[in-house]
Amino acid sequence: MNTLPLTARHANLISCQSCHLLSPASAESTPCPRCGRHLALRKVNSLTRCWALVLSSFILYLPANLLPITITTTFGRPAHSDTIMSGVIYFLQSGSWHIALVIFVASIFVPLMKLILLTFLLASLQLGWRWRPLERTRLYRLTEVVGRWSMVDVYVVTILVALVKLGAWAKVEAGPGAIYFSALVILTMLAAESFDPRLIWDQMEEQQ
Amino acid sequence: MRRTQTNSLDRTIAWVIAGLILYLVAVYFPFLAMQSHGIANETALISGIVALYQQGMGVMGLVVLLTCLILPLFTMLSLLYILLPLRVGLRLPRAAWLFAWNQRLRPWGMMEVYMLGILVSMVKLAKLARIIPGPALYAFIALIFVLAAASVSLDNHLVWDFFQSSMMGDTPDKQP
């Protein structure tokens, strides 16, 4: 049975990651002749890099969610600090459930789901599972597309900080959680970028 | 099915120029103002970054600066640098290298996410104070659609094929 489609790797070719120009395999780790990007058959150290970024993100997830992201001072009342979750609850209680949903999905659900999916994909590669390669590739594409929308809370903090400066009446300051949260979003985006979905298919070929 | 899109270059250039104009409006003018207790305050994209910096959150300000100001501008300017000469069959130095970076950095320009942030802040503050949308808000909304149109109308293969043929030393047989 020889129904395997031809891949660049079998044809002794390297596909450039940026412009997809095919170069001979002997050109590995030289710059691509068309766009200048370093040629590599697969993303370099994909699994190690991705694991490192995923684990760091898991660690950052805790302070990002537990520490306050904004500190509001209103005249005559003690300073009031908000975490991401308390912001969601505030929106729920004030009746704007759709905004509560946006914040919950973008800031709490998506980062965690992304990390769990990437951990699952990494584990599936390391343990050599042959389970549903197509679905796993699709899961990866999902983590890649959806991650940037988590930045929305960082921007909300930026806008509130600049807008709510009403002299002695009200003031909003960014809390320490906001920095951890921006770092979390950036690291999960880098983690998704460093994962190479072609490794899933390499494994399927090896075990054929 | 068409192999390449019709007028891909011209349409992309037009969208990018429109995008640059909207970008200037979106960055320069305030997008929201709030009024409460007789005090009014308005904010533009840069004032948020400055406020973060003043509170000792410079790192976070830098993230916002890069993702909402610098990268969208880089994307648009680099496209013009590549596509305008390409229309007349020219290739400026480093154009292929810039185009590769343009593709790589695309997910990091997040103006449309910032727009969602503006909407969320509007709802959040609506109960505390009077919120007045500024001219930049409309420019922001338009910019998101224009940037999306620019990236949809650009046929990457067309650009790479052009770099390929100019790399081989021959002139492209037909103008893209």
Give the mutation candidate from A23, A35, A90, A99 for the B interface (greatest B CB count, under 10 A): A35
Tell me: do A20 and A71 sit in the same domain.
Answer: no
B positions 110-169 inside 8 Å of A (CB)? 110, 113-114, 116-118, 120-121, 123-125, 127-129, 160, 163-164, 167
What are A83-108's pLDDT values in tens digits?
A: 999 889 988 888 888 888 988 999 99
CATH number at residue A201: 1.20.140
B50 CB neighbours in chain A (<8 A) are 162
Tell me: do A176 and A103 sit in the same domain.
Answer: yes
Phi/psi of residue A207, each to 5°?
A: -95, 5
SS3 A51: helix
Rounded to two decimals, what is the model's pTM?
0.87
A155–B108 C-beta distance less than 8 A: no
A99–B160 C-beta distance less than 8 A: no
Tell me: do A51 and A32 sit in the same domain.
Answer: no
Q: Per-residue pLDDT averaged across B73-84, rounded? A: 92
Residue B50 to residue A175: CA distance in whole angstroms? 16
Tell me: do A16 and A53 sit in the same domain.
Answer: no
Q: Is the pLDDT of residue B166 over 80?
A: no
B104 CB neighbours in chain A (<8 A) are 18
Q: Record the tokens describing residue B74, joined without a space.
A: 């880089």
Of residues B37 and A19, which shows the higher confidence score?
A19
Instruction: Give yes or no for a contact between A57 and A118, defined as CB atoms under 8 angstroms apart.
Output: no
Q: Is the pLDDT of residue B23 over 70?
A: yes
Identify which of A176, A150, A183 has the alpha carbon closest to the alpha carbon of residue A58: A183
Residue A23 to residue B169: CA distance in whole angstroms? 18
Tell me: do A161 and A108 sit in the same domain.
Answer: yes
Tell me: do A120 and A164 sit in the same domain.
Answer: yes
What are B137-160's pLDDT values in tens digits?
A: 999 889 989 988 998 888 888 888
Q: Is the pLDDT of residue B175 over 50?
A: no
A21–B113 C-beta distance less than 8 A: no
Of residues A6 and B169, which shows the higher confidence score?
A6
Q: Is the pLDDT of residue B2 over 80?
A: no
* Owning domain of residue B70: 16-165
A151 CB neighbours in chain B (<8 A) are 67, 110, 113, 117
Q: Record the tokens describing residue B130, joined without a space.
A: 């009077």
User: How many structural domains compose chain B?
Assistant: 1
A positions 38-97 inside 8 Å of B (CB)? 91, 94, 96
For chain B, the three-class secondary structure string (H helix, E strand, C coil) is: CCCCCCCHHHHHHHHHHHHHHHHHHHHHCCCEEEEECCEEEEECHHHHHHHHHHCCCHHHHHHHHHHHHHHHHHHHHHHHHHHHHHHCCCCCCCHHHHHHHHHHHHHHCCHHHHHHHHHHHHHHHHCCCEEEECHHHHHHHHHHHHHHHHHHHCCHHHHHHHHHHHHCCCCCCCCC
Tell me: do A178 and A192 sit in the same domain.
Answer: yes
For the beta carbon of residue B30, count every other beta carbon within 10 angstroms.
19
Instruction: Give yes or no for a contact between B71 and B113, defined as CB atoms under 8 angstroms apart.
Output: no
B117–A152 C-beta distance less than 8 A: yes
Cα dihedral A160/B30/B109/B117 (nearest 10): 30
Give the mutation candidate from A22, A152, A173 for the B interface (greatest B CB count, under 10 A): A152
What are B98-134's pLDDT values in tens digits?
A: 998 998 898 898 888 998 899 888 888 887 788 888 8
B26 CB neighbours in chain A (<8 A) are none
* Owning domain of residue A187: 43-206
Q: Which of B47, B63, B97 sits opposite A36 (nearest CB)?
A: B97
- What is the pLDDT of chain B when averaged over all its residues? 85
Tell me: do A36 and A87 sit in the same domain.
Answer: no
Q: Is the pLDDT of residue A3 over 80?
A: no
Residue A197 to residue A117: CA distance in whole angstroms? 13
Our CA angle for A177, A183, A184, nearest 5°, is: 85
Q: Is the pLDDT of residue B36 over 70?
A: yes
Instruction: Give yes or no for a contact between B95 and B163, defined as CB atoms under 8 angstroms apart.
Output: yes
User: How many structural domains compose chain A?
Assistant: 2
| Whole-number pLDDT of residue B157 | 83
| Whole-number pLDDT of residue A59 | 95
Residue B45 to residue A180: CA distance in whole angstroms? 22
A163 CB neighbours in chain B (<8 A) are 32, 34, 41-43, 121, 125
Q: Record the tokens describing residue B134, joined without a space.
A: 């500024």
Output the CA torsion sign for A112, A116, A122, A125: negative
**Bridge-partner residues for A165, per DSSP?**
A171
